[in-house]
Structure 1
Amino acid sequence: MGVVHLLYTLFGSKLNPRDAQLMAAMKQGSLVVSAQTNVWRAWIGFNASHSLGFLLFSAVFGHLALSYPALLFGSVYLAAAGAAFLAALVVAARRYFFRAPFVVLIVALVLYLAGIVAAHL
């Protein structure tokens, strides 16, 4: 999901507004926090960093689960941090995204929790 989202952000048009006037307004408008960027560039940056967060989580927790399962599943902190991160993404997806990312994140959370349970059996 992170790779697809990053490709859509950097090379595709799927995350562009359907309204050309809105896109033009985003490119002209600056943010209150800083006039050094425009809303469009911030939009691309937010989406790219969002994708990179997915990729980092997947790389780190996937590596731990495959190479060091005792470390991941034996650490209440690491196991809880991963579950909390995925749960927060589920909440954000439900509130701000559309159906597909919401469903994918629920599946990821369920599988993650199932891995924790299976590791403790």
Structure 2
Amino acid sequence: MMVGALLGIAGLIYIALGTLHAVFTLLDERNPRRLAPDDPAVFTAMQNSTMRLSRGATTMWQAWISFNLTHSLAAILIGTACLIVMAHLGLFVFSPWALFALAGVSALFALIGLRYWFGVPRAATLIATASLAAAWLLYT
């Protein structure tokens, strides 16, 4: 019971973060003001600079949008995996490694968050990681 609740908490956190991040990214594509540079000169430079790897086919702004959208998708997928495991806890016997893998991926997100993110996503990811680690420990 407690393992399911912990999985649900972590899953909902990741789905909420990923969905909000995707919405902000899509809104910024037309009216940059959330996940966009504060300095207008940097924004203009991102729109006018291409990635060397793309040989002029992709601007830094396009790359920024795609990086944010794929990051959002990853968070939503982690959250969905948590909810799938939670929903099937009583139906199947899961290897503890499944929960360990979820906790491990979440821990990687948390480590990145500690270094590069700001308040809310950092704290939420730490809470999700603690929930998944506790779920794994209780399940083993």
Shared fold by TM > 0.5? yes
Contact map agreement 1:64 1:71 (CA 8 A) in 2: no
Structure 2: gaps of 5 or more residues:
1-16
Counterpart-to-counterpart distance in 1, 2:57 and 2:38? 25
Cα deviation for residue 71 of structure 1 reads 4.8
Residue deviations 1:27-46 (CA, integer Å, cap 9, x gap):
00011211210000000000
Structure 1: gaps of 5 or more residues:
none
1:3 to 15, 19, 23: 19
Question: Residues 82, 71 of structure 1: CA spacing in aligned structure 2 closer, same or farther, 3 A cutoff?
Answer: farther
Runs of 4+ in 1 over 3 A off after TM superposition: 68-72
* Pair 1:23 & 2:39 matched: no
Counterpart-to-counterpart distance in 1, 2:47 and 2:92? 46
Cα deviation for residue 3 of structure 1 reads 0.7
Cα deviation for residue 117 of structure 1 reads 2.6
TM-score (norm 1): 0.88
Give the 5 Å matches for 1:1-121: 1-12=17-28, 13-34=33-54, 35-68=56-89, 71=92, 74-120=94-140
Counterpart-to-counterpart distance in 1, 2:92 and 2:61? 41
Q: Sequence identity of aligned pairs in percent? A: 26
**Amino acid paired to 2:97:** Y
The structure showing larger relative contact order (alpha-carbon pairs under 8 Å, at least 6 residues apart) is 2
